């Protein structure tokens, strides 16, 4: 006898489509319910942040200052809070350079702060201004990394910080060169009180004792070489005349010109004026 093949019933395509759509809808509904449940869960008081531990540099910010400046910028529970948002909230606090925020289970945040260490005052030059111009945009601070930051200038404890003044984005370069010029100036028993850089790249130094030195243009190595030569020889000139230096111009290729207090290089004027015939 020949075996009879079983009858196979095929589900119509439209029924299969409806079953697939229904399964997707159920899956989406389940995912939405799960998301709502998670949102409800993370908002429960059990997941509220109970404490924030602040470590690192906190010399310029008290607990009250951090609370007043950072907490209003933060939102969410221990689970839902964005650590990036929390980091930005602490970095918005005056004097804070960087912050690292970590979750400490079950309900605490640990914040590691690094504060700005002021190294100089910064006077931004107005666009197109040269070294002689007194027009500045605003006065900021330069930290030890050469980065600009804004803070209450009255909070600066070191009153002997130098002043740097130059084009935008030159603060790090200027601070690095100031440090080298400052080191050289110790041979004069003096220091660099102010360093200016014009828009055309010309450098000028104001020393603590009042002298103004035109360093001119060139690479850092060229500028430092001119200044080192000047430092090595200027004491011989001031000792000879027994009078302090007022200014010096190092922009000459074969030497430099100086002005000394009470010493004139101009010939004396005749006592009697020339009469016309």
8: confidence class by pLDDT, cuts 50, 70, 90: low
Distances (CA, A) of 114 to 103, 144, 219, 228: 18, 12, 33, 36
Confidence at residue 3, expressed as pLDDT on a 0 to 100 scale: 54
Residue 274: per-residue pLDDT:
43
Cβ-count burial 241-261 (b if 16+ within 10 Å, e if not): eeeebeebbbeeeeebebebe
pTM of this prediction? 0.76
pLDDT in tens, 75-90: 888 888 899 999 999 9
Mean pLDDT (the chain) is: 83
pLDDT band at 136 (very low <50, low <70, confident <90, very high): low
Q: Which range scores top for mean pLDDT: 1-5, 232-236, 273-277?
A: 232-236
Q: Region of 123 please: left (phi>0), alpha (psi -120 to 50) or beta.
A: beta
Confirm if 245 and 223 have CB atoms less than 8 A apart. Answer: no
Question: Does the domain made of 46-115 have the CATH classification 3.10.20.310?
Answer: yes
Portion of the chain with pLDDT greater than 70, in percent: 77
Higher pLDDT, 47 or 228: 228
Contacts of 21 (CB under 8 A, 6+ apart): none
pLDDT at 44 over 50: no
Class of domain 118-260: alpha beta
* pLDDT per residue as tens digits for the range 162-203: 999 999 999 999 999 999 999 999 999 999 999 999 999 999
What pLDDT does 27 receive? Answer: 77
How far is it, in rounded angstroms, from Cα 4 to Cα 6? 6
* Cis peptide bond prior to 250, omega within 30° of 0: no
C-alpha 64: how far from its chain's center? 25
Residues of the chain with CATH 3.40.50.11690: 118-260
Tokens of 128: 């197109």
Tokens of 274: 């020339």
Average pLDDT over residues 199-222: 96
Q: For the chain, where do the domains classified as CATH 3.10.20.310 start and end?
A: 46-115
Phi, psi values for residue 43, rounded to 5°:
-90, 0
Across residues 44-59, what is the average pLDDT? 78
Cα separation, 185 vs 192, in Å, equals 7
With a cut of 60, say whether residue 269 has pLDDT above it.
no
């Amino acid at each position: 006898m020949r075996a009879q093949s079983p009858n196979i019933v095929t589900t119509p395509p439209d029924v299969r489509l409806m079953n697939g759509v229904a399964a997707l809808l159920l899956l989406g509904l389940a995912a939405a319910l799960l998301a709502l449940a998670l949102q409800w869960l993370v908002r429960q008081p059990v997941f509220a942040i109970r404490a924030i531990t602040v470590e690192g540099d906190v010399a310029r910010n008290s607990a009250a200052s951090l609370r007043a400046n950072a907490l209003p910028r933060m939102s969410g529970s221990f689970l839902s809070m964005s650590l990036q948002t929390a980091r930005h909230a602490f970095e918005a606090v005056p004097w804070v350079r960087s912050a690292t925020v970590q979750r400490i289970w079950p309900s605490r945040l640990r914040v590691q702060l690094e504060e700005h260490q002021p190294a100089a005052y910064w006077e931004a030059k107005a666009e197109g201004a040269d070294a002689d111009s007194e027009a500045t945009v605003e006065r900021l601070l330069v930290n030890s990394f050469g980065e600009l930051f804004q803070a209450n200038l009255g909070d600066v404890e070191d009153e002997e910080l130098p002043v740097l003044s130059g084009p935008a984005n030159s603060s790090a370069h200027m601070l690095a060169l100031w440090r080298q010029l400052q080191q050289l100036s110790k041979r004069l028993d003096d220091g660099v009180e102010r360093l200016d850089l014009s828009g055309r790249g010309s450098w000028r130094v104001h020393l603590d004792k009042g002298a103004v030195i035109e360093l001119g243009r060139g690479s850092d190595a060229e500028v430092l070489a001119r200044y080192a030569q000047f430092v090595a020889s200027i004491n011989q000139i001031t000792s000879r005349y027994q009078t302090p230096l007022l200014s010096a111009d190092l922009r000459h290729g074969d030497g430099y010109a100086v002005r000394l207090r009470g010493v004139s290089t101009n010939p004396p004027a005749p006592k009697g004026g020339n009469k016309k015939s």
